[in-house]
Protein backbone atom coordinates (compact mmCIF):
# COMPACT_ATOMS: atom_id res chain seq x y z
CA UNK A 1 0.00 0.00 0.00
CA UNK A 2 1.24 3.52 -0.75
CA UNK A 3 0.43 4.77 2.78
CA UNK A 4 -0.55 3.07 6.03
CA UNK A 5 -3.93 4.38 7.27
CA UNK A 6 -3.69 6.20 10.63
CA UNK A 7 -6.17 7.42 13.17
CA UNK A 8 -5.31 11.03 12.29
CA UNK A 9 -7.49 12.84 14.83
CA UNK A 10 -10.00 12.38 17.66
CA UNK A 11 -12.63 14.63 19.21
CA UNK A 12 -14.69 17.32 17.56
CA UNK A 13 -12.94 20.41 16.29
CA UNK A 14 -14.80 23.69 16.35
CA UNK A 15 -14.93 23.81 12.51
CA UNK A 16 -16.88 20.60 12.32
CA UNK A 17 -19.91 22.47 13.68
CA UNK A 18 -19.67 25.28 11.12
CA UNK A 19 -21.40 25.33 7.74
CA UNK A 20 -19.03 24.02 5.10
CA UNK A 21 -20.03 23.69 1.44
CA UNK A 22 -20.61 20.14 0.22
CA UNK A 23 -17.90 18.88 -2.12
CA UNK A 24 -19.26 16.68 -4.92
CA UNK A 25 -17.34 13.42 -5.29
CA UNK A 26 -17.48 10.54 -7.77
CA UNK A 27 -17.09 6.79 -7.52
CA UNK A 28 -14.17 5.28 -9.41
CA UNK A 29 -15.73 2.34 -11.23
CA UNK A 30 -13.44 2.11 -14.25
CA UNK A 31 -9.95 3.07 -15.42
CA UNK A 32 -9.37 6.78 -15.90
CA UNK A 33 -6.78 9.16 -17.34
CA UNK A 34 -5.58 12.60 -16.27
CA UNK A 35 -2.69 14.99 -16.73
CA UNK A 36 -2.12 15.06 -12.99
CA UNK A 37 -3.34 12.81 -10.19
CA UNK A 38 -3.26 14.12 -6.65
CA UNK A 39 -3.33 11.48 -3.93
CA UNK A 40 -5.28 13.14 -1.10
CA UNK A 41 -8.07 15.72 -0.91
CA UNK A 42 -7.01 17.76 2.12
CA UNK A 43 -5.91 21.39 2.06
CA UNK A 44 -2.51 20.63 0.52
CA UNK A 45 -4.07 18.88 -2.44
CA UNK A 46 -6.89 21.45 -2.66
CA UNK A 47 -4.66 24.50 -3.20
CA UNK A 48 -2.43 22.68 -5.68
CA UNK A 49 -5.40 21.21 -7.56
CA UNK A 50 -6.97 24.64 -8.00
CA UNK A 51 -3.67 26.12 -9.22
CA UNK A 52 -3.14 23.31 -11.75
CA UNK A 53 -6.74 23.02 -12.96
CA UNK A 54 -7.05 26.77 -13.48
CA UNK A 55 -4.01 26.57 -15.78
CA UNK A 56 -5.69 24.01 -17.99
CA UNK A 57 -4.34 20.73 -16.59
CA UNK A 58 -6.79 17.84 -16.31
CA UNK A 59 -6.68 17.04 -12.58
CA UNK A 60 -7.98 13.96 -10.77
CA UNK A 61 -7.93 13.67 -6.96
CA UNK A 62 -8.16 10.34 -5.15
CA UNK A 63 -8.82 10.08 -1.41
CA UNK A 64 -9.53 7.12 0.83
CA UNK A 65 -11.66 9.39 3.03
CA UNK A 66 -14.30 12.00 2.16
CA UNK A 67 -12.58 15.28 1.14
CA UNK A 68 -11.24 17.38 4.03
CA UNK A 69 -11.71 14.74 6.68
CA UNK A 70 -8.04 14.08 7.43
CA UNK A 71 -5.84 16.42 9.50
CA UNK A 72 -7.34 19.46 7.77
CA UNK A 73 -10.46 19.06 9.94
CA UNK A 74 -8.32 19.25 13.11
CA UNK A 75 -6.10 22.23 12.38
CA UNK A 76 -6.35 25.38 14.50
CA UNK A 77 -5.60 27.48 11.39
CA UNK A 78 -3.12 30.07 12.56
CA UNK A 79 -1.82 30.92 9.11
CA UNK A 80 1.62 32.32 9.76
CA UNK A 81 4.68 33.15 7.74
CA UNK A 82 6.70 32.82 10.94
CA UNK A 83 8.38 29.44 10.67
CA UNK A 84 8.63 27.27 13.82
CA UNK A 85 12.37 27.82 13.83
CA UNK A 86 13.32 31.49 14.24
CA UNK A 87 15.92 32.86 11.81
CA UNK A 88 18.36 32.91 14.71
CA UNK A 89 18.14 29.10 15.01
CA UNK A 90 17.45 28.23 11.37
CA UNK A 91 20.67 29.95 10.25
CA UNK A 92 22.68 27.43 12.28
CA UNK A 93 21.12 24.65 10.17
CA UNK A 94 21.01 26.13 6.68
CA UNK A 95 23.09 29.33 6.79
CA UNK A 96 21.88 32.90 7.20
CA UNK A 97 21.16 33.63 3.56
CA UNK A 98 19.00 30.53 3.09
CA UNK A 99 17.27 31.01 6.44
CA UNK A 100 16.28 34.55 5.49
CA UNK A 101 15.16 33.44 2.05
CA UNK A 102 13.02 30.63 3.52
CA UNK A 103 11.29 33.14 5.78
CA UNK A 104 10.78 35.64 2.94
CA UNK A 105 9.40 32.99 0.60
CA UNK A 106 7.04 31.70 3.26
CA UNK A 107 5.78 35.26 3.71
CA UNK A 108 5.20 35.52 -0.04
CA UNK A 109 3.29 32.22 -0.02
CA UNK A 110 1.01 33.51 2.73
CA UNK A 111 0.30 36.71 0.81
CA UNK A 112 -0.45 34.67 -2.31
CA UNK A 113 -2.87 32.55 -0.30
CA UNK A 114 -4.70 35.68 0.88
CA UNK A 115 -4.83 37.07 -2.67
CA UNK A 116 -6.23 33.81 -4.04
CA UNK A 117 -8.91 33.65 -1.37
CA UNK A 118 -9.94 37.14 -2.49
CA UNK A 119 -9.81 36.31 -6.20
CA UNK A 120 -11.82 33.11 -5.75
CA UNK A 121 -14.23 34.89 -3.42
CA UNK A 122 -13.91 32.17 -0.78
CA UNK A 123 -16.08 32.87 2.24
CA UNK A 124 -13.87 31.54 5.06
CA UNK A 125 -13.61 34.31 7.69
CA UNK A 126 -10.13 35.19 6.46
CA UNK A 127 -8.64 37.95 8.65
CA UNK A 128 -5.22 39.61 8.76
CA UNK A 129 -3.73 39.32 12.24
CA UNK A 130 -0.54 40.46 13.85
CA UNK A 131 1.26 37.94 16.01
CA UNK A 132 2.93 38.02 19.39
CA UNK A 133 5.85 35.64 19.99
CA UNK A 134 6.52 35.38 23.72
CA UNK A 135 9.89 34.73 25.33
CA UNK A 136 10.10 31.22 26.81
CA UNK A 137 12.50 28.42 27.60
CA UNK A 138 13.82 28.32 23.99
CA UNK A 139 14.47 32.03 23.43
CA UNK A 140 15.04 34.60 26.18
CA UNK A 141 14.63 38.36 25.92
CA UNK A 142 18.15 38.92 24.54
CA UNK A 143 17.69 36.28 21.86
CA UNK A 144 14.33 37.74 20.89
CA UNK A 145 15.99 41.12 20.45
CA UNK A 146 18.54 39.52 18.09
CA UNK A 147 15.78 37.68 16.25
CA UNK A 148 13.94 41.00 15.74
CA UNK A 149 17.09 42.50 14.22
CA UNK A 150 17.42 39.56 11.78
CA UNK A 151 13.79 39.71 10.74
CA UNK A 152 13.95 43.46 10.16
CA UNK A 153 17.10 42.95 8.10
CA UNK A 154 15.08 40.47 6.02
CA UNK A 155 12.39 43.08 5.40
CA UNK A 156 9.93 41.37 7.75
CA UNK A 157 8.94 44.25 9.98
CA UNK A 158 9.01 43.14 13.62
CA UNK A 159 8.79 45.14 16.87
CA UNK A 160 10.55 44.10 20.06
CA UNK A 161 8.40 44.59 23.19
CA UNK A 162 10.08 44.56 26.60
CA UNK A 163 8.33 43.34 29.75
CA UNK A 164 6.82 46.74 30.60
CA UNK A 165 5.48 47.35 27.09
CA UNK A 166 4.12 43.82 26.80
CA UNK A 167 2.30 44.22 30.10
CA UNK A 168 0.88 47.64 29.32
CA UNK A 169 -0.29 46.77 25.79
CA UNK A 170 -1.46 43.18 26.28
CA UNK A 171 -1.59 42.57 30.03
CA UNK A 172 0.81 39.63 29.60
CA UNK A 173 3.62 39.11 32.09
CA UNK A 174 6.66 37.74 30.20
CA UNK A 175 10.25 38.91 29.83
CA UNK A 176 9.72 40.11 26.24
CA UNK A 177 7.87 39.42 22.97
CA UNK A 178 8.10 40.06 19.24
CA UNK A 179 5.18 41.69 17.50
CA UNK A 180 4.94 40.95 13.79
CA UNK A 181 2.36 41.77 11.17
CA UNK A 182 0.42 40.28 8.28
CA UNK A 183 -0.41 36.76 9.43
CA UNK A 184 -3.88 35.30 8.84
CA UNK A 185 -6.68 33.35 10.46
CA UNK A 186 -9.48 31.48 8.70
CA UNK A 187 -12.01 28.71 8.96
CA UNK A 188 -9.81 25.99 7.42
CA UNK A 189 -12.63 23.75 6.19
CA UNK A 190 -14.33 26.58 4.32
CA UNK A 191 -10.93 27.75 3.04
CA UNK A 192 -10.04 24.32 1.68
CA UNK A 193 -13.56 23.70 0.36
CA UNK A 194 -13.29 26.97 -1.59
CA UNK A 195 -10.15 25.72 -3.31
CA UNK A 196 -11.66 22.29 -4.05
CA UNK A 197 -14.76 23.89 -5.57
CA UNK A 198 -12.50 26.27 -7.50
CA UNK A 199 -10.60 23.28 -8.90
CA UNK A 200 -13.85 21.56 -9.81
CA UNK A 201 -15.04 24.64 -11.70
CA UNK A 202 -12.01 24.04 -13.95
CA UNK A 203 -12.89 20.39 -14.48
CA UNK A 204 -11.01 18.70 -11.61
CA UNK A 205 -12.65 15.46 -10.44
CA UNK A 206 -12.57 14.03 -6.92
CA UNK A 207 -12.98 10.29 -6.50
CA UNK A 208 -13.71 9.12 -2.96
CA UNK A 209 -13.41 6.71 -1.25
CA UNK A 210 -10.44 5.43 -3.25
CA UNK A 211 -7.31 4.04 -1.61
CA UNK A 212 -4.22 4.32 -3.76
CA UNK A 213 -2.28 1.07 -3.50
CA UNK A 214 0.76 1.96 -5.59
CA UNK A 215 2.24 4.39 -8.09
CA UNK A 216 4.71 3.41 -10.77
CA UNK A 217 6.58 5.56 -13.24
CA UNK A 218 6.59 3.85 -16.67
CA UNK A 219 7.72 5.22 -20.03
CA UNK A 220 7.34 8.84 -18.98
CA UNK A 221 3.85 8.31 -17.52
CA UNK A 222 2.55 7.19 -14.13
CA UNK A 223 0.28 4.25 -13.43
CA UNK A 224 -1.77 4.54 -10.24
CA UNK A 225 -3.26 1.35 -8.91
CA UNK A 226 -6.13 1.44 -6.43
CA UNK A 227 -7.26 -1.09 -3.83
CA UNK A 228 -10.66 -1.42 -5.47
CA UNK A 229 -9.20 -2.32 -8.88
CA UNK A 230 -9.46 0.51 -11.42
CA UNK A 231 -6.20 2.06 -12.59
CA UNK A 232 -5.54 5.73 -13.33
CA UNK A 233 -2.97 6.71 -15.98
CA UNK A 234 -1.49 10.19 -15.78
CA UNK A 235 1.44 12.36 -16.75
CA UNK A 236 2.33 13.20 -13.14
CA UNK A 237 1.35 11.96 -9.67
CA UNK A 238 1.53 14.23 -6.62
CA UNK A 239 1.38 12.77 -3.11
CA UNK A 240 -0.51 15.10 -0.76
CA UNK A 241 -1.19 12.45 1.85
CA UNK A 242 -0.58 14.56 4.97
CA UNK A 243 0.72 12.63 7.96
CA UNK A 244 0.12 9.26 6.28
CA UNK A 245 3.58 9.16 4.83
CA UNK A 246 3.96 7.74 1.33
CA UNK A 247 6.36 4.93 0.53
CA UNK A 248 9.46 5.93 -1.37
CA UNK A 249 9.79 9.42 0.14
CA UNK A 250 13.02 9.76 2.08
CA UNK A 251 11.91 10.85 5.52
CA UNK A 252 14.67 10.34 8.04
CA UNK A 253 14.11 13.81 9.48
CA UNK A 254 10.32 13.84 9.47
CA UNK A 255 8.70 13.13 12.80
CA UNK A 256 5.07 12.47 13.61
CA UNK A 257 4.00 13.31 17.14
CA UNK A 258 0.76 14.22 18.91
CA UNK A 259 -0.91 17.54 19.63
CA UNK A 260 -4.01 18.80 21.49
CA UNK A 261 -6.34 21.79 21.18
CA UNK A 262 -9.38 23.34 22.87
CA UNK A 263 -11.91 26.05 22.03
CA UNK A 264 -13.74 28.00 24.74
CA UNK A 265 -17.29 29.29 24.59
CA UNK A 266 -17.81 32.68 22.84
CA UNK A 267 -16.73 35.62 25.05
CA UNK A 268 -16.06 38.55 22.69
CA UNK A 269 -15.87 41.17 25.43
CA UNK A 270 -13.02 39.43 27.23
CA UNK A 271 -10.56 39.20 24.33
CA UNK A 272 -7.12 40.84 24.22
CA UNK A 273 -6.29 43.90 22.07
CA UNK A 274 -6.38 43.35 18.28
CA UNK A 275 -6.86 39.60 18.86
CA UNK A 276 -3.38 38.94 17.57
CA UNK A 277 -2.13 35.38 17.32
CA UNK A 278 -0.09 34.45 20.37
CA UNK A 279 2.59 31.75 20.51
CA UNK A 280 5.67 31.18 22.55
CA UNK A 281 9.32 30.25 22.21
CA UNK A 282 8.92 27.28 24.56
CA UNK A 283 8.96 23.51 24.53
CA UNK A 284 6.23 22.34 25.00
CA UNK A 285 4.69 25.38 23.48
CA UNK A 286 1.30 27.04 23.63
CA UNK A 287 -0.53 29.03 21.01
CA UNK A 288 -3.72 31.03 21.10
CA UNK A 289 -6.08 32.65 18.60
CA UNK A 290 -9.58 34.08 18.66
CA UNK A 291 -12.53 33.20 16.43
CA UNK A 292 -14.90 35.81 14.96
CA UNK A 293 -17.61 34.81 17.48
CA UNK A 294 -15.29 35.42 20.45
CA UNK A 295 -14.27 31.84 21.16
CA UNK A 296 -10.63 31.33 22.03
CA UNK A 297 -8.65 28.45 20.58
CA UNK A 298 -5.64 27.29 22.55
CA UNK A 299 -3.37 24.46 21.46
CA UNK A 300 -0.01 22.85 21.93
CA UNK A 301 1.25 20.56 24.70
CA UNK A 302 2.85 18.48 21.91
CA UNK A 303 4.41 15.08 22.65
CA UNK A 304 6.88 13.18 20.49
CA UNK A 305 4.97 9.88 20.40
CA UNK A 306 2.55 8.73 17.69
CA UNK A 307 0.58 6.12 19.65
CA UNK A 308 -3.00 7.13 18.87
CA UNK A 309 -4.56 5.23 21.78
CA UNK A 310 -2.17 6.94 24.23
CA UNK A 311 -2.82 10.27 22.53
CA UNK A 312 -6.58 9.91 22.93
CA UNK A 313 -6.29 8.71 26.53
CA UNK A 314 -4.45 11.94 27.36
CA UNK A 315 -7.21 14.17 25.97
CA UNK A 316 -8.83 14.95 29.39
CA UNK A 317 -5.46 15.71 31.05
CA UNK A 318 -4.20 17.81 28.16
CA UNK A 319 -7.51 19.69 28.03
CA UNK A 320 -7.15 20.57 31.71
CA UNK A 321 -3.54 21.64 31.15
CA UNK A 322 -4.47 23.88 28.20
CA UNK A 323 -7.32 25.42 30.23
CA UNK A 324 -4.89 26.13 33.07
CA UNK A 325 -2.16 27.63 30.86
CA UNK A 326 -4.67 29.80 29.02
CA UNK A 327 -5.98 31.01 32.39
CA UNK A 328 -2.48 31.99 33.44
CA UNK A 329 -2.05 34.04 30.29
CA UNK A 330 -5.47 35.71 30.51
CA UNK A 331 -6.90 35.41 34.05
CA UNK A 332 -10.17 37.14 33.09
CA UNK A 333 -11.08 34.54 30.42
CA UNK A 334 -13.44 31.64 31.04
CA UNK A 335 -11.05 28.93 29.82
CA UNK A 336 -13.39 25.94 30.16
CA UNK A 337 -13.23 23.90 26.95
CA UNK A 338 -16.39 23.85 24.86
CA UNK A 339 -14.50 21.77 22.26
CA UNK A 340 -11.44 19.55 22.79
CA UNK A 341 -9.64 17.52 20.15
CA UNK A 342 -6.26 16.02 19.34
CA UNK A 343 -4.38 14.67 16.36
CA UNK A 344 -1.15 13.56 14.81
CA UNK A 345 1.23 16.35 13.98
CA UNK A 346 4.27 16.29 11.70
CA UNK A 347 7.44 18.28 12.20
CA UNK A 348 10.97 18.60 10.87
CA UNK A 349 14.07 19.79 12.74
CA UNK A 350 14.31 22.86 10.48
CA UNK A 351 10.58 23.64 10.59
CA UNK A 352 10.66 23.55 6.77
CA UNK A 353 8.46 21.41 4.51
CA UNK A 354 9.57 18.88 1.92
CA UNK A 355 8.34 19.63 -1.61
CA UNK A 356 10.21 17.50 -4.12
CA UNK A 357 10.43 14.66 -6.61
CA UNK A 358 10.16 11.18 -5.16
CA UNK A 359 13.31 9.15 -5.76
CA UNK A 360 14.52 9.18 -9.36
CA UNK A 361 11.10 9.31 -10.96
CA UNK A 362 10.76 12.65 -12.80
CA UNK A 363 6.97 12.62 -12.64
CA UNK A 364 6.19 11.61 -9.05
CA UNK A 365 6.18 14.59 -6.69
CA UNK A 366 5.37 14.95 -3.00
CA UNK A 367 4.27 17.60 -0.51
CA UNK A 368 5.15 16.98 3.11
CA UNK A 369 3.80 20.24 4.52
CA UNK A 370 5.05 19.50 8.04
CA UNK A 371 5.39 21.92 10.95
CA UNK A 372 3.22 24.58 12.54
CA UNK A 373 2.99 26.35 9.17
CA UNK A 374 1.43 23.37 7.40
CA UNK A 375 -1.21 25.42 5.61
CA UNK A 376 1.14 28.23 4.58
CA UNK A 377 3.42 25.50 3.25
CA UNK A 378 0.48 24.05 1.30
CA UNK A 379 0.27 27.40 -0.48
CA UNK A 380 4.03 27.40 -1.06
CA UNK A 381 3.84 23.84 -2.37
CA UNK A 382 1.22 24.83 -4.94
CA UNK A 383 3.61 27.47 -6.34
CA UNK A 384 6.58 25.12 -6.51
CA UNK A 385 4.65 22.12 -7.82
CA UNK A 386 3.02 24.04 -10.67
CA UNK A 387 6.53 25.11 -11.68
CA UNK A 388 7.84 21.54 -11.51
CA UNK A 389 4.94 20.15 -13.53
CA UNK A 390 5.38 22.84 -16.19
CA UNK A 391 9.16 22.51 -16.29
CA UNK A 392 9.98 25.91 -14.78
CA UNK A 393 12.83 26.23 -12.32
CA UNK A 394 11.89 28.08 -9.13
CA UNK A 395 14.92 29.75 -7.57
CA UNK A 396 13.76 28.70 -4.10
CA UNK A 397 13.00 25.05 -4.87
CA UNK A 398 16.28 23.95 -3.30
CA UNK A 399 15.30 25.46 0.05
CA UNK A 400 12.39 23.09 0.45
CA UNK A 401 13.67 19.74 -0.73
C1 LIG B 1 -4.46 20.01 16.24
C2 LIG B 1 -3.73 20.53 15.05
C3 LIG B 1 -3.45 21.89 14.97
C4 LIG B 1 -2.80 22.39 13.83
N5 LIG B 1 -2.63 23.74 13.75
C6 LIG B 1 -2.12 24.29 12.64
C7 LIG B 1 -2.06 25.70 12.49
O8 LIG B 1 -2.45 26.45 13.37
N9 LIG B 1 -1.57 26.19 11.32
C10 LIG B 1 -1.16 25.38 10.30
O11 LIG B 1 -0.73 25.90 9.26
N12 LIG B 1 -1.20 24.04 10.41
C13 LIG B 1 -1.67 23.48 11.55
N14 LIG B 1 -1.77 22.12 11.66
C15 LIG B 1 -1.28 21.32 10.56
C16 LIG B 1 -2.30 21.24 9.43
O17 LIG B 1 -3.50 20.74 9.94
C18 LIG B 1 -1.77 20.32 8.34
O19 LIG B 1 -0.57 20.86 7.82
C20 LIG B 1 -2.75 20.16 7.19
O21 LIG B 1 -4.05 19.90 7.61
C22 LIG B 1 -2.28 19.03 6.31
O23 LIG B 1 -3.14 18.96 5.21
P24 LIG B 1 -2.96 17.82 4.17
O25 LIG B 1 -3.89 18.08 3.06
O26 LIG B 1 -1.50 17.70 3.85
O27 LIG B 1 -3.35 16.50 4.99
P28 LIG B 1 -4.80 15.85 5.26
O29 LIG B 1 -5.83 16.87 5.54
O30 LIG B 1 -4.62 14.77 6.25
O31 LIG B 1 -5.14 15.22 3.83
C32 LIG B 1 -4.41 14.12 3.34
C33 LIG B 1 -5.39 13.18 2.69
O34 LIG B 1 -4.66 12.13 2.04
C35 LIG B 1 -5.47 10.98 2.06
N36 LIG B 1 -4.65 9.79 1.82
C37 LIG B 1 -3.54 9.39 2.48
N38 LIG B 1 -3.06 8.26 1.92
C39 LIG B 1 -3.90 7.92 0.91
C40 LIG B 1 -3.94 6.83 -0.01
N41 LIG B 1 -3.01 5.87 -0.02
N42 LIG B 1 -4.95 6.79 -0.92
C43 LIG B 1 -5.91 7.77 -0.93
N44 LIG B 1 -5.92 8.81 -0.07
C45 LIG B 1 -4.92 8.89 0.85
C46 LIG B 1 -6.08 11.00 3.46
O47 LIG B 1 -7.26 10.24 3.52
C48 LIG B 1 -6.31 12.48 3.71
O49 LIG B 1 -7.64 12.87 3.47
C50 LIG B 1 -2.40 21.54 12.78
C51 LIG B 1 -2.66 20.17 12.88
C52 LIG B 1 -3.31 19.66 13.98
C53 LIG B 1 -3.60 18.19 14.05
Ligand 1 atom closest to the Cα of residue 67 is 49
Task: Please tell me if the CB atom of residue 76 comes closer than 6 angstroms to any atom of ligand 1.
Answer: yes
13 Cβ contact list (under 8 Å, min separation 6) = 73, 74, 75, 261, 263, 339, 341
Residue nearest to atom 3 of ligand 1 (CA): 75
User: What's the CA-to-centroid distance between 100 and ligand 1, angstroms?
Assistant: 26
Q: What pLDDT sits at residue 264?
A: 98
Q: How many CB atoms lie within 10 A of CB 130?
A: 15
CATH of segment(s) 128-182+254-347:
3.30.9.10
Any idea which architecture 9-74+189-252+351-400 has in CATH? Answer: 3-Layer(bba) Sandwich (3.50)
Task: Please tell me if the CB atom of residue 3 comes closer than 6 angstroms to any atom of ligand 1.
Answer: yes
Alpha-carbon torsion angle 123, 128, 134, 137, nearest 10: 50
User: What's the CA-to-centroid distance between 346 and ligand 1, angstroms?
Assistant: 9
389 Cβ contact list (under 8 Å, min separation 6) = 36, 52, 57, 236, 365
Taken in order 228, 229, 232, 236, the sign of the CA dihedral is: positive
User: What's the CA-to-centroid distance between 370 and ligand 1, angstroms?
Assistant: 9
What does each of the 401 residues of the chain score in pLDDT, given as a tens digit? 899 999 999 999 999 999 999 999 999 999 999 999 999 999 999 999 999 999 999 999 999 999 999 999 999 999 999 999 999 999 999 999 999 999 999 999 999 999 999 999 999 999 999 999 999 999 999 999 999 999 999 999 999 999 999 999 999 999 999 999 999 999 999 999 999 999 999 999 999 999 999 999 999 999 999 999 999 999 999 999 999 999 988 777 889 999 999 999 999 999 999 999 999 999 888 999 999 999 999 999 999 999 999 999 999 999 999 999 999 999 999 999 999 999 999 999 999 999 999 988 889 999 999 989 999 999 999 999 999 999 998 999 999 98
Q: How many CB atoms lie within 10 A of CB 214?
A: 14
Q: What pLDDT sits at residue 254?
A: 87
User: What's the CA-to-centroid distance between 354 and ligand 1, angstroms?
Assistant: 14
The residue whose CB lies within 8 Å of the most ligand 1 atoms, and thus the one to mutate among 65, 70, 288, is 70
User: What's the CA-to-centroid distance between 72 and ligand 1, angstroms?
Assistant: 5
DSSP 351: S
The pTM (predicted TM-score) of the whole model is: 0.98
What is the rounded distance in angstroms from the CA atom of residue 222 to the CA atom of residue 136?
A: 48
What is the residue extent of each domain of the chain?
9-74+189-252+351-400, 128-182+254-347
What is the rounded distance in angstroms from the CA atom of residue 20 to the CA atom of residue 193?
A: 7
Task: Please tell me if the CB atom of residue 368 comes closer than 6 angstroms to any atom of ligand 1.
Answer: no
Task: Please tell me if the CB atom of residue 245 comes closer than 6 angstroms to any atom of ligand 1.
Answer: no
H or E segment at 354? strand 354-357
Q: What pLDDT sits at residue 326?
A: 97
Task: Please tell me if the CB atom of residue 132 comes closer than 6 angstroms to any atom of ligand 1.
Answer: no
Ligand 1 atom closest to the Cα of residue 370 is 19
User: What's the CA-to-centroid distance between 64 and ligand 1, angstroms?
Assistant: 13
Task: Please tell me if the CB atom of residue 373 comes closer than 6 angstroms to any atom of ligand 1.
Answer: yes
Task: Please tell me if the CB atom of residue 65 comes closer than 6 angstroms to any atom of ligand 1.
Answer: yes
Amino acid sequence: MLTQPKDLRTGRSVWMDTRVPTIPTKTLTQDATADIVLVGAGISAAITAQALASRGHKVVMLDRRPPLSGSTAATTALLQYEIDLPILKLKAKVGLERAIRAWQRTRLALDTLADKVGALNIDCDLERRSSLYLAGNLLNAGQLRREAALRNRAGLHTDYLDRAELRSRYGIDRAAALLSFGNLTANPLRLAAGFLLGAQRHGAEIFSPVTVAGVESRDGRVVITTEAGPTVHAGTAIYATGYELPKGVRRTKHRIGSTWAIATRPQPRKLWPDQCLIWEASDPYLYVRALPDGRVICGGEDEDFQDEAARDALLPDKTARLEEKLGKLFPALDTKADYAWCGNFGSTPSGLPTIRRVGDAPNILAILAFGGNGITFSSLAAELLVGMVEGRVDIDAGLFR
